[in-house]
Chain A
Amino acid sequence: MSAAPLVEMIGIEKHFGGIRAVDGVSIDLHRGEVVGLLGHNGAGKSCLMRILSGAMAPSGGEIRIMGEPVSFTEPNDAREAGIETIYQTLALADHLDAPANLFLGRELKTRFGNLDDRAMLKAAREVLARLNPNFKNLGDPVSSLSGGQRQVIAIARAIYFDTKVLIMDEPTAALGPSETAMVAGLIKELRAEGIGIFLVSHDMHDVFELCDRVVVMNKGRLVGSHAIDEVTKDDVLSLIVKGELPADWSARNLTQAAQHA
């Protein structure tokens, strides 16, 4: 590989008291690559992603962005490095409306430093229409919106700004079929633009349709990293559930992948 990867996470650790939520995990992500991150509930996927987005401090390990070691102390640091995140919890302020949430922390301002609500509304209308043409109630507090609409706001917020790395933690969990298809299309579009994407998902179908590579975590450890055409759904399922590939898989492939990671 000539250019340094967009993201390298090396030997990341996260401990909560005695629990090893993330246990020496190393992964990387390249430009225009979609990496699926899979694992059982509580495997540590969200923790790993939150460490990359600056929302959680790692107990150990190193992060490099385009070859440069970085240390994120707050989400703003990661955002400045071009890392945008759609959190599993969506991270929306319930009492604010969609435009206010979209621009939260990065509000547009007028010449006098006032909030430019008109510009934010206009921009929000455009970016939301791209994801869901039926999105009308932009002035309502997001607490009164449906789960899918809320998710669309969280997605819109992550793609609106100048993004290099996109972390999507179960972005389609609350979406209907047409919105899910829209997000799938969006992921392909963003990949074509050269954006690197971590996609956390439990949906095997989505993962196989969208990802170039799958990375599987089991009980905090990385148990496999494979090009998508190297494995079948059953192989991945076995990695998720048992933490290892089926017995008939050649062991040589596995050690090679582990060294690579």
Chain B
Amino acid sequence: MSDASKPASEFGLSGMIPAGVSLHRLSALLTLCLLIAGFALSSPAFFSINNGLTILLQTSVIGLLGIGMTLVIVTGGIDLSVGSVLALSGVVSAMAVKAGVPVVPAMGAGVAAGAACGAFNGLVITKLRIPPFVATLGMMLIARGLALQLTGAIPISGLGEAFGLLGNGALFRVVEMRPNGFPNVIFPGIPYPAILLLIVAVAVAYLLRRRQIGRHIFATGSNEEAARLSGVRVDRTKLYAYTMSGALAGLAGNVLMSRLITAQPSEGVMAELDAIAAAVIGGASLSGGVGTISGTMIGAFIIGILRNGLNMAGVSAFIQQIVIGFVVIGAVWIDQIRNRP
């Protein structure tokens, strides 16, 4: 069931509370708990604070991409370009920093570059009537090519401490100086990427539930022709969704590159698949009209924890791909069963 039009009480992260949560999200939440329990039993290091932080950081990138992807999927589309746009945005930010622009406007430029890529996707899809799959596949190559061309395929490093703050900093971090001069972290704090993810998730959930544009995004994905006849500006709605997806990919790119303090033009290959998987696991329907931000957040954590836990358990990257492939198929299969009349 889509609860696109449920009252205010049920938007944002409050949707993670079982009451009123759809069956799909409940099963996803259960899967998440099982995963955590399983990995905790198999590896004691899994439950350490440090590993928790790693998971949060990994998930924040998947989560940001997944939120944008959810908007696009709810309109009935798909955005295959987010992994490449992520790289291009990081590269643009880094080049701006290298050119002497202060960090904050430089990162703003990176996010704007992402939004521009998204807007280009939206225009190609609505004006040229090219199917989203093809249009964003084109952008996937264009953005990756641009990122590699601009950098000559060489990572940009030496970006300075300020550039690393977004990805490595934390709120309420308590650090004490040891007598030997090395810092001792008493409380690691809440990483900025996690805070950023929370803010974006709440903001977009609010947008989807409480604002007209959100209603129109659902209507467009539900029945595009009906939405058009009802006076919804379908093209503008799609343009909005793709631009948001591009901007959020840009934001994710900046988080990632900031964490590495290096702009890697080859970063984020296949990240779009993680984002799609997060949205689908969270209950978004690839045929449009259905999806929630809280669901996508659960999906992002499932993917993030799965990757991390398998890593910790020493499972090879190849096997990880196989596992995640099966998880995605399983999630869509559950969706199919759920929708059977």
Q: Is B31 at the interface (CB under 8 A from chain A)? A: no
Q: Which of A4-12, A113-121, A189-197, A223-231 contacts B (4 or more CB under 8 A)?
A: A113-121
- The segment from B37-45, B91-99, B161-169, B211-219 found at the interface with A is B211-219
**Residues 215-257 of chain B, each 1 if its beta carbon lies under 8 Å from chain A, else 0:** 1101101110111111111000000000000000000000000
Q: Cβ of B210: which chain A residues have Cβ within 8 Å of it?
A: 114-115
Q: Is B8 an interface residue (CB 8 A)?
A: yes
CB neighbours (8 Å) of B231 from chain A are 74-76, 79, 104-106
**What 1/0 flags go to A88-112 for Cβ under 8 Å of B?**
0111111111011100111101000
Whether B229 contacts A93 by the Cβ 8 Å rule is: no
Q: Judge whether B1 and A93 touch: CB under 8 Å.
A: no
- Tell me which of B7, B212, B214, B219 contacts A93 (CB under 8 A): B219
Is B66 close to A, CB under 8 A?
no
Residues of B within 8 A of A87 (CB): 229
The reply to whether B223 and A107 contact each other, CB–CB distance below 8 Å, is no
Q: How far is the CB of A6 from the nearest CB of chain B, in Å?
A: 21
Chain B residues touching A, range: 20 to 34
Q: Counting CB contacts under 8 A, is B157 at the interface?
A: no
Closest residue of A by beta carbon distance from B290: A95
Is A127 in contact with chain B by the CB < 8 A criterion? no
Question: Which chain B residues border A93 with CB–CB below 8 Å?
Answer: 218-219, 222-223, 226-227, 230, 289
Q: Are the C-beta atoms of A100 and B5 separated by less than 8 Å?
A: yes
Q: Point out the residues of chain A lying under 8 angstroms from B1, CB to CB.
A: 141
Q: A93-B230, A94-B222 are in contact. Are A118 and B215 (CB under 8 A)?
A: no
Chain A residues contacting B229 (CB-CB under 8 Å) are: 53, 55, 75, 85, 87, 91
Check A109 against B212 for contact (C-beta < 8 Å): yes
Q: Which residues of A contact B233 (CB under 8 A)?
A: 74, 76
B332 to chain A, nearest CB (A): 18
**Which residues from chain A contact B219 at a C-beta distance below 8 Å?**
93, 96, 100, 104
Give every chain B residue within 8 A of A92 (Cβ-Cβ). 223, 226
Q: Is the CB–CB distance between A97 and B5 below 8 Å?
A: yes
Q: Is the CB of B232 within 8 A of A104?
A: yes
Q: B336 at the A/B interface (Cβ < 8 Å)?
A: no
Known: A95-B4, A100-B4, A117-B7. A107 touches B215 (CB 8 A): yes
B225 and A91 within 8 A (CB): yes
Given known pairs A75-B231, A100-B215, A104-B231, the reply for A95 and B225 (CB within 8 Å) is no
Option from B2, B4, B7, B230 in Cβ contact (under 8 Å) with A91 = B230
Q: Which residues of A contact B212 (CB under 8 A)?
A: 107, 109, 113, 115
CB neighbours (8 Å) of B289 from chain A are 93-95
Q: Closest Cβ of chain A: how far from B127's Cβ, in Å?
A: 15
Report the bound CA distance from A55 to B232 in whole Å: 12
Report chain B residues within 8 Å CB of A75: 228-231
* B221: A residues at CB distance < 8 A: 95
CB closest chain-B residue, reference A157? B230
Residue of A at shortest CB range from B214? A115
What is the 8 Å Cβ interface bit string for chain B, positions 192-209, against chain A (1 contact, 0 not)?
000000000000000001
Contact present for B232 and A96 (CB under 8 Å): no
A114 & B227 in contact (Cβ 8 Å cutoff): no
When chains A and B are docked, how far (Å) is the Cα of A101 from the Cα of B212?
12
Least CB distance from B237 to A in Å reads: 11
Q: Which residues of A contact B215 (CB under 8 A)?
A: 96, 100, 104, 107, 115
Residues in A with CB closer than 8 Å to B223 are 91-94
A97 closest partner in B (C-beta): B5
CB–CB B230/A104 < 8 A: yes
Contacts of A91 in B (CB 8 A): 223, 225-226, 229-230
Chain A: minimal CB distance from B88 (Å): 33
**Shortest beta-carbon distance from B213 to chain A in Å:** 10
Q: Name the distance in Å between A232's Cβ and chain B's nearest Cβ.
A: 36
Q: How far is the CA of A104 from the CA of B6 in the complex (A)?
A: 15
- Within the complex, the shortest CB–CB distance from A213 to chain B, in Å, comes to 26
* Complex-state Cα separation, A89 to B221, whole angstroms: 17
Interface residues of A in 137-173 (CB under 8 A from B): 139, 141, 157
Between A and B, 22 residue pairs with Cβ closer than 8 Å are A53-B229, A55-B229, A75-B230, A75-B231, A76-B231, A76-B233, A90-B226, A92-B226, A93-B218, A93-B230, A94-B223, A95-B289, A96-B5, A100-B5, A100-B219, A104-B226, A105-B216, A107-B212, A113-B211, A115-B215, A139-B5, A141-B4
Q: Which residues does B use to contact A, with CB under 8 Å?
A: 1-2, 4-8, 209-212, 214-216, 218-219, 221-223, 225-233, 289-290
Given contacts A109-B212, A114-B211, A117-B8, 20 further A-B contacts (CB under 8 A): A53-B229, A55-B229, A75-B228, A75-B231, A76-B231, A91-B226, A91-B229, A93-B227, A93-B289, A95-B4, A96-B4, A99-B5, A100-B5, A104-B226, A104-B232, A105-B227, A105-B231, A115-B212, A117-B7, A157-B230
Top-3 shortest CB links A-B? A105-B231, A95-B289, A93-B222
Interface residue ranges, A against B (CB under 8 Å)? 53, 55, 74-76, 79, 85, 87, 89-97, 99-101, 104-107, 109, 113-115, 117-118, 139, 141, 157
